[in-house]
Structure formats: C-alpha cells, structure tokens
C-alpha cells in the first residue's frame, strides 16, 4: 500500500486534523499524482459536517486537485512522470451505462465513484480526497492541466470551473448574448470569466453592494443589486441564460421574469426548500428552468484546454493546510475572494 498523509474530519462535529492513511498500490492503468494544491469547495464543508447525510468518516475532503505525476502503470498512455495532472469530483464510474458512454460520467447509472466520501467499485474501499499529499487514480479519470497558468489557481477549475463552464457550453453561449450570473462566489466568479470569454454580455445579480467593483474587475458589464424591491422591472426580459449559483433558498420568479423569449435559467445549487413559482413565468415567454451538475471528463478536459487558451483561472487565497478549519469558517461567512486553495507543501511544515 502507498502511505498518504492529509487532513481528515473524524466525525461530523470534528475539526479537520492530521491523518495518515493508505492508498491502493497503483495498477497498470493507474497514475500516482503528488498533490500540490487542493481547492476548498463549499460542498467539502457540507459533507465533512454530514449535512447531506450518509457521510463516511474519517473523511479527507477535496475534489479540486492539481499536482504532478510521480509514477505511471505499465498500461498508462496519456501521462508521463513529471506531467501536470488534475483530479476533479470523480475517480471512477461503470463505463458502460448510457451516461458513461455519452461522456457524462457524473450521471453514471450505477453512481460514479466520487473523489472522497464514496466507495470504490470494489464495494468496500473508502475514497479519500485532495487534502492530502498523494492520490492513485485510473488515468482515464485524470485531467491534463494547462501549462502557463498559475497552478494553485488551476485547482478550483476542477469543480467550480466545470460546474459553470458546462451549462454555458450546453446553451451555446456566444457573442451578442446576455448572460446573467446570480451570486458572486466561487462559482459565480468563474461564470463571469467564462461567459465573458465566450463573448457574452455579462450581468451579475447580487445582494452585496460591495461585490460590484469585483464583478466588474472580473469582467461583468453590469451589476444588479437584488436587495432593491422590483429590480427585475428594469431587466426588460433580455437574458438568454441565467446561471444561478446560490444554494440558499431564494425566489426564482424575478430571474425567470428577466429571461427573454426561450431563455433558460440553470440552477447550480440545490436549495433546501422546494422551488415555487407560477407556470405563467414559463409559458409567457417559453422559458426553461433546468439545472447542471459538474460535467463529464471529456467536457472537463475541454474546459481546462479553454482555460489554457484564454488564460483563465480562479481568483484564490492560498493557505497552509493548518488553516483549513479557519478557511471553512470564512467560506461559510462568504469571506473569500473567491476560493481557498491549500498549498500542500505546508503538510510537511
């Protein structure tokens, strides 16, 4: 077995703490990645605190992993020792169901094997994520990372990046279109960058006036403060696409009403309470409501290549792993612009 070190939550109410564990010995199709940077996703916190139920402890969170290949199995063809490599939310899937065959492994009908808090396809081995120094993964589930970008800023692309890129691509966002982004956080700030790079006119909706300057710096053309009652009246139903990155319960009606004919709203979060809105909002302009969940491996690679081509990466705050618990608290307060990334070299300090 391969010795690994990281930080784990031992129980739902525990702070994360140092943890030593074993990774499997790499097989012929596996690569071993020395993890250099690991992003902190809000869903890490939900899972480490068992807020979604079914948490498996000890839990080593982390699914925004950037590192370097340190060994390759005999059957590996896409990676060589020394290559940059990334791991996102998944480390395996059945490979044979219609979703997998369509390159949509995140919807694998047997359920994909998630990077942490999940059971390997052997039915027994718990997966451990990126808050650690090394990971063993089938090369098919590893991503090639763009060179020429700051590597810590690349890590969050593996989840925040693909989560926002996928719906923008699915709806064919292009020059001349109006794209709205609800909520300026880890997801929202990537959505701005991508939509802008695709040529859209980008508007950010936020309840925080303090975010306007950042929204514009990140590429937004317009900023709408949604604390003002009736703000939607000024929108003129002009949006082709609105990405909603807010997981808290909120009223969808003003956003739906801001969509133009045939426009679409895409939920990226899962509010706790049921959605509720009048169907007239859909039929009156033939609008669509849908949602999106990360992206498949092929599309994730496309996103990373797009980032390399356009010089896009995440805005981050780099922290040593010893500050992970503090970073969780700050993430919950929204006090991060826009992603914490753990410098894994700090593990040895």
Which residues contact a copy of itself by CB under 8 A? 98-99, 102, 104, 107, 261, 264, 267, 269-271, 274-280, 282-293
Q: Which residue's CB is nearer to a copy of itself, number 90 or number 197?
A: 90
Q: Which residue's CB is nearer to a copy of itself, number 24 or number 286?
A: 286
The residues, ordered by sequence, that sit 6+ positions from 230 with a Cβ below 8 Å of its Cβ are none
Q: Which residue's CB is nearer to a copy of itself, number 217 or number 286?
A: 286
Q: Which helix (H) or strand (E) holds 56?
A: none
The nearest distance, CB 155 to a copy of itself, in angstroms, is 24
The nearest distance, CB 34 to a copy of itself, in angstroms, is 33
The nearest distance, CB 221 to a copy of itself, in angstroms, is 20
The nearest distance, CB 31 to a copy of itself, in angstroms, is 29
The nearest distance, CB 245 to a copy of itself, in angstroms, is 13
* Nearest one of 157, 147, 133 to 39, comparing CA atoms: 157
The nearest distance, CB 111 to a copy of itself, in angstroms, is 11
Q: Which residue's CB is nearer to a copy of itself, number 99 or number 153?
A: 99
Angle at 29 between CA 24 and CA 33, to 5 degrees: 60
Q: Which residue's CB is nearer to a copy of itself, number 80 or number 249?
A: 249
Strands 259-267 and 30-39: unpaired
Q: Which residue's CB is nearer to a copy of itself, number 279 or number 349?
A: 279
Paired tokens of 40: 């902190």
Strands 201-206 and 178-182: parallel
Long-range contacts of the stretch 321-325 (C-beta < 8 A, 24+): 321/6, 321/7, 321/131, 321/346, 321/347, 322/346, 322/349, 324/7, 324/16, 324/40, 324/131, 325/15, 325/16
Q: How many CA atoms lie within 13 A of 255 on its CB side?
A: 30
What are residue 147's DSSP bridge partners?
none
């Amino acid at each position: 077995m391969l010795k690994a070190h990281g930080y784990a939550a031992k129980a739902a109410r525990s702070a994360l703490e140092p943890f030593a564990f074993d990774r499997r010995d790499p097989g012929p199709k596996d690569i071993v990645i020395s993890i250099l940077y690991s992003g902190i996703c809000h869903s890490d916190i939900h899972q480490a605190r068992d807020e979604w139920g079914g948490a498996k402890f000890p839990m080593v969170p982390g699914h925004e992993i950037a590192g370097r290949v340190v060994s390759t199995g005999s059957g590996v063809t896409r990676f060589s020792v020394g290559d940059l490599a990334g791991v996102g939310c998944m480390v395996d899937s059945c490979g044979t169901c219609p979703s997998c065959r369509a390159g949509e492994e995140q919807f694998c009908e047997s359920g994909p094997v998630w990077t942490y808090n999940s059971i390997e396809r052997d039915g027994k081995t718990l997966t451990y994520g990126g808050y650690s120094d090394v990971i063993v993964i089938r090369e098919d589930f590893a991503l090639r990372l763009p060179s020429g970008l700051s590597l810590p800023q690349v890590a969050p692309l593996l989840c925040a990046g693909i989560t926002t890129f996928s719906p923008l691509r699915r709806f064919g966002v292009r020059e001349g279109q109006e794209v709205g982004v609800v909520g300026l956080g880890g997801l929202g700030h990537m959505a701005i960058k991508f939509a802008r790079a695709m040529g859209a006119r980008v508007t950010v909706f936020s309840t925080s006036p303090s975010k306007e300057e950042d929204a514009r710096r990140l590429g937004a053309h317009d900023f709408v403060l949604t604390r003002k009652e009736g703000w939607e009246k000024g929108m003129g139903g002009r949006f082709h696409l609105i990405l909603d990155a807010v997981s808290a319960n909120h009223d969808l009606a003003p956003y739906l009403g801001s969509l133009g004919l045939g426009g679409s709203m895409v939920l990226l979060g899962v509010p706790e309470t049921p959605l509720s809105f009048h169907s007239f909002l859909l039929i009156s302009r033939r609008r669509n409501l849908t949602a999106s969940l990360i992206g498949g491996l092929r599309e994730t690679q496309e996103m990373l290549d797009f980032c390399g081509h356009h010089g896009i990466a995440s805005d981050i705050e780099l922290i040593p792993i010893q500050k992970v618990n503090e970073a969780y608290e700050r993430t919950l307060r929204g006090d991060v612009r826009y992603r914490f990334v753990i410098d894994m070299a700090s593990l040895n300090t």
